[in-house]
Amino acid sequence: MRDDIVSSLLKQISDIEVIPSDGAYNIRKNGEGIERRSTKDVEITTKTDKPGIDIRVAPFAKADSVHIPVVITDSGVKDTVYNDIYIGEGAVVTIVAGCGIHNSGCDASQHDGIHRFFIGKGARLRYIEKHYGEGEGTGERILNPTTVVEMEEDSFCEMESVQIRGVDSTKRDMKANLDKGAKLVITERLMTHGKQFAGSDMEINLNGEGSSAQIISRSVAKDGSSQVFYPRAVGNAPCQAHIQCDSIIMDDAKVRSIPEIAANHYDAQIVHEAAIGRINNDQLIKLQTLGLCESEAEEIIIEGFLK
Amino acid sequence: MLELKNISFRINDDGRETEILNDISYTLEDEKFLIITGPNGGGKSTLAKVIMGIEKPTSGQILLNGKDITNLDITERAKLGVGYAFQNPPRFKGLTVRRLLSLAHGSDLPEDECCAYLTNVGLCSREYLNREVDTSLSGGEVKRIEIATLMARNLDVAIFDEPEAGIDLWSFTMLVESFKVMCKGRHRSVILISHQERIMQLADEILVVANGKIRTQGSREEVFPKLLGEFGDNCGFRGKEA
Ligand SMILES: Nc1ncnc2c1ncn2[C@@H]1O[C@H](COP(=O)(O)OP(=O)(O)OP(=O)(O)O)[C@@H](O)[C@H]1O
Ligand SMILES: [Mg+2]
């Protein structure tokens, strides 16, 4: 069922090569679920009305990591999947998702993952998502994730997304609604090269008193690639939000950042910081004085920046 | 041996030529500890950058062990054994102290060795190893790490640009005492840019650079007693005393 390509993709996107000996997981390959395990606290079921799964984490469960990787190894696959994730009240869980595409053909391979999270009162979710593409074919590798997060009172959610290599086109869409005292932390790391395109559309609605959001986005655009960011934070109650976007631009790349911050309440505090610039020259020179050539120095600076 | 022959460095600022270094010639023999001092803006750091290859001289020649390195870039000079600890070291997001030291050393440094380099510059706690060299470090900590990166190498010419700046008085004494010991056996010759009398006591030779020129040069015994007089005739903070 799993071969070398699948194993190596899995390693890239979810740090697992082998099935974890415990914990729930679901592996989807070329548009079909191929392996799955539910546990006492984490139930994974197939949706009946459309492709995808439901994940239910029991209230007050202290579950380990749940892995839900998706791999595409056939050329020309267009896979759309709907995953709904319900985190019960007071539960604590880490979910590792990710999508790896190996395209050795000439047709485009595309995965559109629509994830909806319903995070119960006081629950804590850590969600990690890695995107990765490879393959010697000319077919495009396309990933369009949509994420919706509904956060109940005093819940906490930390989302990390990483896309470092090989995805030709990506459009991410993210929307979050925060209730009273909910806290959302998003870190996004992205690198584009060649002729790649990446777009990120984000809307954070802070609806409850004392809710807070922190968004940190770091990106590197190389060669002739382009990136567009639309972060948007709307404060509808006494709340705090901080959005920070840092981009390094190289070669002939293009980066645009179009932030919007809106306050609909007297006590909403919303801050946005954005910077786009070349690699710092002093950093480059410093590394060169240690004997590294310019391209090695660039690589180390970028690696650190995206860490 | 490092030879500077008639080094000049001019910059063109909106059509106006400014001479930053003016016909500097000097030979630094092996095993020598040279201190460069002089007024702010005199050209000391610029001279260091010219030796490292960060700035290209407008005219003149630089020889390292008889080889002309004037047209070599920074990386090539680094590989030949020239090193420069910045006056204002840059900070790096995501790069740990340990990684930086390993890069300086040229290969992965075991934890113990890293700690030894850090202890030498007064950063004793192991906690520093995995700290990032970013804005979370204090000014003095960054300067100490900068010194350590040069101590992790074996150089023909090691240049330290005001290494004591920002380092507290307490550690300063220790640094003065250990600096020469640290460099011995590691670097063939050392250039240290400083304004501190205490540090000048370490010198074999002293060079006073002012207005882009060498104003005075010679052994410590010759130059040091005259130093205060050297600065006296400039307009200083206090202005002319009646
Ligand atoms: N790239 C540059 N553009 C314009 N002016 C410069 C440039 N580099 C150096 N200078 C000028 O050259 C002069 C010498 O600068 P340098 O940094 O070498 O002085 P310094 O002797 O190291 O001073 P300090 O003791 O303050 O460190 C200064 O007047 C400085 O403003
Ligand atoms: Mg200087």
Q: How far apart are CA A211 and CA A205, in angstroms?
A: 10
- Look at residue A15 in the predicted model and tell me its pLDDT: 64
Q: Which residues of A touch B104 (CB under 8 A)?
A: 290
Residue B45: CB within 6 Å of ligand 1? yes
Instruction: Give the separation between CA A21 and CA A302, rounded to whole angstroms.
Output: 35
- The ranges of chain A with pLDDT < 70 are 1-2, 15-21
Residue whose CB lies within 8 A of the most ligand 1 atoms, among B45, B196, B234, for a mutation test? B45
B2-11+18-230: what fold?
Rossmann fold (3.40.50)
Q: Are A40 and A63 in contact (CB under 8 A)?
A: no
Backbone phi, psi, residue B166, to 5°: 85, 0
CB A84 within 8 A of CB A55: yes
User: Which amino acid is it at B16?
Assistant: R
What pLDDT does residue B133 have?
A: 95
Domain range annotation of chain B: 2-11+18-230
Which residues, 6+ apart, have CB-to-CB distance to A262 below 8 Å? A232, A233, A234, A235, A270
How far is A34 from A20, CA to CA, in rounded Å?
A: 15
- Put simply, whether A40 touches B (Cβ < 8 Å) is no
Chain A to chain B, count of Cβ pairs less than 8 Å apart?
52
**Single-letter amino acid, residue A69:** P
Q: Residue B224 burial (CB < 10 Å; 0-12/13-18/19+)?
A: middle
Compare CB distances from B74 to A280, A289, A305 and report the shortest one's residue: A289
pLDDT at A20: 65
> Any chain B CB within 8 A of the CB of A45?
no
- Sequence-separated (6 or more) residues with CB below 8 Å from residue A41: A57, A58, A61, A62, A63, A91
Predicted complex: ipTM over 0.90: yes
Q: Comparing C-alpha atoms, which of A199, A143, A127, A107 is closest to residue A9?
A: A143
Give pLDDT, residue A75. 87
Query: What's phi and psi for A65, nearest 5 deg?
Result: -70, 140
| Interatomic CA distance for residues A19 and A244, integer angstroms | 36
Whole-structure pTM value: 0.86
Residue ID of nearest Cα to ligand 1 atom 16: B43
Our separate counts of H helices and E strands in chain B read: 9, 10
Residues B46, B161: contact at Cβ < 8 Å? no
pLDDT tens for the 242 residues of chain B, in order: 999 999 999 998 888 889 999 999 999 999 999 999 999 999 999 999 999 999 999 999 999 999 999 999 999 999 999 999 999 999 999 999 999 999 999 999 999 999 999 988 888 778 899 999 999 999 999 999 999 999 999 999 999 999 988 888 778 888 888 888 888 888 999 999 999 988 888 899 999 999 999 999 999 999 988 887 665 555 545 544 44
**CB-based contact A293 B75, cutoff 8 Å:** yes
CB neighbour class for B191 (10 Å; exposed up to 12, middle 13-18, buried from 19): buried
